[in-house]
């Protein structure tokens, strides 16, 4: 039995319900059972589907069941990028056994899960388990039942392959003569069991907690390729030697330029590590070195050079042989430093005046020299203003005044910074050298994303050194994926997609880059050039997650569930078009 549409000259075609049979001579014939022309088209379509073996679904609430609905779009975006950049194949490499594949699937799942919603490893196990799943991640990767032990075993498996994975990433993104950005950060612990946790300089302003230190190697664009974890009391410059060995020996890069801040690439590290290894560098001088260059406003640094310019290249062969010095003066930075210094001086004077009143008060506890000195020292040390004040302390007496000469001497260098490099001018001019150093902010952006904004490296819920290293490496790989996502989705984010053009319009690399007209329009209208609403990265990922994977079931055929995805919004369609992915085909 079938439905056939028969042309009817100038009239609408006839829709007939027919069946096939054989006549007495055995010839195939067909006869009409009913004329369906007057039926609505949706009813005719339902009859066609039913005759082909389909199931009729009524319009009542009990005729079609949604057995389960799981967020899917953000999983498809993150997992699709992992497949697209072949990161999963790099992690798995040549291992073909079932155990290695299982470990690789779990590592990929933990990376994607950290991107969409950072949580503990136990939380991850619950998030992908069939019974307690909160996204389609477990079903898309066909993880089945996941035990907590498997997640930790996958971490151990990953850290054993960290060196090989980093070498693979370096081969993809680093080459001879490349610029490499390097910086370190720290994250504190709540417990005391990890052997890596030590008290040290806390960038999180939690000196009361032990911490770990980790260094990140990035391309000039801010794409991370390697990370290393150190004891929490490791000084920044002490981490540099292992990175040089990694770049030279493991990554087999013979020529490169290492870019680091003034606290990282010091004169001692240049003398002992970089110069013997034959590497070039770009870094910045510390304040005492700048003061030595500017002493008495004489050569080699003359501040009068900056009356009508903000950049000048000088040399100081006695102090920095074989290096170029690029002196920059940022007038906006100079104004800000002067304002901040005056605010600190005024705040310090108020606190000292309060102590002075207490000293003069009868019956005050602050009468002896020692007690007064302790109180004054606490105030001066809290704002690092001791160098700017002369203090006279005696029994029952306190007086103070500003050291105007020291303040004026410091103010002369407001907004001045000096970049030092070993790269010849014919290979990298002064303007480009300044911009390369300023690109270190991209590493800081990576740290900010890993620590607080998106991936939340803290809290670190591991005790052993290897597990902590595995956790930090997993966060780095997750940010590697996030970087690619941000690049692809930039038109739908608040990112400046015309940054290079905006930089080209500057008169000097020292001044702040003004936003391009494109990003100004995006921020003003909150719309992209195509009219789509723009948002933050985490907001867009959350919106993609509203594209759901629904498990459907028809009561008449309860043993045959099927999957039906929700219809993507216009913004979701635009996002997946930029990613060049089909969310229904990602697996």
Query: Could you tell me if 152 and 219 lie in one domain?
Result: no
C-alpha–C-alpha distance, residues 145 and 286, integer Å: 56
Claim to verify: residue 224 and residue 253 sit in the same structural domain: yes
Task: Assess whether 102 and 174 both reside in one domain.
Answer: no
Are 286 and 210 part of one and the same domain? yes
Please say which residue of 160, 177, 208 terminates a domain: 160
Instruction: Specify if 222 maps to a domain.
Output: yes
**Residue labelled with tokens 């994926």:** 481
| Residue 297: predicted pLDDT | 52
How far is residue 116's CA from residue 74's CA, in Å, rounded to a whole number? 7
Q: So what's the pLDDT on residue 572? A: 96
Enclosing domain of residue 35: 2-54
Same domain, 174 and 287: yes
Distance CA 384, CA 360 (A): 25
One digit per residue, pLDDT tens: the chain, 587 residues? 888 888 887 888 888 888 888 888 888 888 888 888 888 887 888 788 778 876 666 666 676 788 899 999 999 999 999 999 999 999 998 777 899 999 999 999 999 999 999 999 899 999 999 889 999 999 999 999 999 999 999 999 999 999 999 999 999 999 888 899 999 999 998 777 889 999 998 888 888 899 999 999 999 999 999 999 999 999 999 999 999 999 998 998 888 899 999 989 999 999 999 999 889 999 999 988 888 888 755 566 777 777 778 888 888 888 899 899 999 999 899 999 999 999 999 999 999 999 999 998 888 888 889 999 999 999 999 989 999 999 999 998 999 999 999 999 899 889 999 999 999 999 999 999 999 999 988 888 888 887 776 678 888 888 899 999 999 999 999 999 999 999 999 999 998 888 888 888 888 888 888 888 888 899 999 999 899 999 999 999 999 999 999 998 877 666 778 889 999 999 999 999 999 999 999 98
Looking at the structure, do residues 287 and 423 belong to the same domain, yes or no?
A: yes
Indicate whether 133 and 234 sit together in one domain: no
| 285 and 431 co-located in one domain | yes
Domains: count for the chain: 4
Same domain, 286 and 175: yes
The answer to whether residue 81 sits within a structural domain is yes
Question: Which residues, in sequence order, are bridge partners of residue 356?
Answer: none
* Residue 125 in domain: yes
What pLDDT score was predicted for residue 310? 87
Structural domain includes residue 312: no
Look at the block and give the residue holding tokens 């050079």. 305
Q: Are residues 269 and 251 in the same domain?
A: yes
Alpha helices in 361-464 (DSSP H): 369-383, 404-411, 430-438, 441-448
Predicted pLDDT at 93? 82
Q: What pLDDT does 299 receive?
A: 60
Residue 241 lies in a domain: yes
Q: Are 535 and 493 in contact (CB under 8 A)?
A: yes
Return the number of other C-beta atoms located less than 10 Å from residue 542's C-beta: 16
Q: What b/e string do you get for 229-265 counting C-beta neighbours within 10 Å, with b at 16 or more?
A: bbbbbbebbebbeebbebbeeebebeebbbbbbbebb
Q: In whole angstroms, what is the distance from residue 246 CA to residue 248 CA?
A: 6
């Amino acid at each position: 039995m079938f439905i056939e549409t028969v042309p009817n000259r100038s009239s609408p075609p006839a829709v007939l319900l027919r069946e096939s049979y054989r006549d007495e001579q055995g010839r195939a014939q067909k006869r009409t059972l009913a004329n369906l022309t007057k039926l609505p088209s949706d009813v005719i379509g339902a009859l066609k589907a039913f005759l082909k073996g389909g199931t009729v679904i009524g319009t009542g609430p009990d005729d079609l069941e949604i057995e389960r609905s799981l967020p899917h779009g953000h999983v498809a975006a993150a997992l699709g990028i992992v497949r697209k950049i072949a990161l999963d194949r790099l992690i798995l490499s040549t291992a073909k056994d079932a155990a290695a594949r299982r470990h690789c699937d779990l590592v990929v799942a933990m990376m994607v899960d950290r991107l969409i919603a950072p949580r503990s490893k136990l939380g991850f196990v619950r998030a992908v388990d069939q019974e307690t799943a909160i996204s389609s991640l477990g079903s898309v990767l066909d993880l089945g039942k996941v035990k907590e032990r498997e997640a930790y075993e996958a971490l151990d498996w990953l850290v054993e392959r960290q060196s090989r994975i980093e070498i693979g990433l370096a081969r993809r993104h680093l080459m001879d003569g490349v610029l490499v950005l390097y910086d370190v950060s720290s994250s504190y612990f709540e417990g005391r069991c990890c052997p890596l946790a030590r008290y040290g300089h806390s960038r999180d302003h939690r000196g009361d907690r032990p911490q770990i230190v980790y260094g990140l190697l990035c391309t000039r664009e801010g794409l991370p390729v390697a990370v290393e974890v150190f004891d929490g009391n490791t000084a920044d410059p002490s981490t540099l030697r292992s990175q040089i060995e990694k770049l030279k020996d493991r990554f087999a890069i013979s020529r490169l330029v290492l870019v680091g801040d003034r606290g990282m690439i010091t004169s001692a590290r240049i003398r002992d590590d970089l110069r013997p290894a034959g590497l070039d560098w770009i870094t910045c001088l510390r304040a005492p070195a700048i003061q030595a260059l500017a002493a008495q406003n004489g050569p080699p640094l003359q501040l009068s050079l900056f009356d009508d310019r903000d950049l000048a290249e000088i040399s100081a062969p006695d102090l920095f042989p074989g290096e170029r010095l690029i002196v920059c003066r940022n007038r906006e930075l100079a104004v800000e430093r002067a304002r901040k210094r005056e605010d600190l001086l005024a705040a310090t004077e108020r606190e000292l005046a309060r102590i002075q009143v207490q000293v003069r008060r009868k019956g005050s506890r602050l009468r002896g020299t020692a007690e007064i000195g302790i109180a004054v020292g606490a105030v001066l040390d809290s704002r690092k203003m001791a160098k700017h004040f002369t203090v006279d302390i005696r029994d029952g007496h306190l007086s103070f005044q500003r050291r105007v000469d020291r303040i004026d001497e410091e103010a002369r260098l407001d907004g001045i910074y000096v970049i030092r490099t070993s790269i010849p001018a014919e290979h990298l001019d002064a303007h480009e050298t300044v911009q390369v150093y300023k690109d270190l902010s991209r590493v800081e952006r990576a740290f900010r994303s890993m620590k607080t904004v998106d991936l939340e490296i803290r809290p670190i819920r591991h005790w052993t050194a290897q597990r902590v290293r595995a956790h930090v490496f997993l966060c780095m790989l997750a940010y590697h994926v996030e970087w690619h996502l941000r690049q692809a989705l930039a038109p739908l984010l608040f990112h400046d997609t015309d940054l290079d053009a905006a930089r080209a319009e500057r008169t000097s690399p020292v001044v702040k880059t003004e936003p391009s007209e494109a990003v100004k329009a995006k921020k003003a209208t909150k719309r992209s050039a195509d009219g789509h609403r723009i948002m933050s990265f985490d907001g867009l990922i959350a919106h993609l997650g509203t594209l759901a994977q629904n498990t459907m079931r028809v009561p008449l055929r309860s043993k045959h569930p099927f999957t039906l995805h929700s219809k993507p919004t216009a913004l979701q369609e635009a996002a997946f078009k930029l990613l060049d992915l089909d969310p229904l085909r990602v697996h």
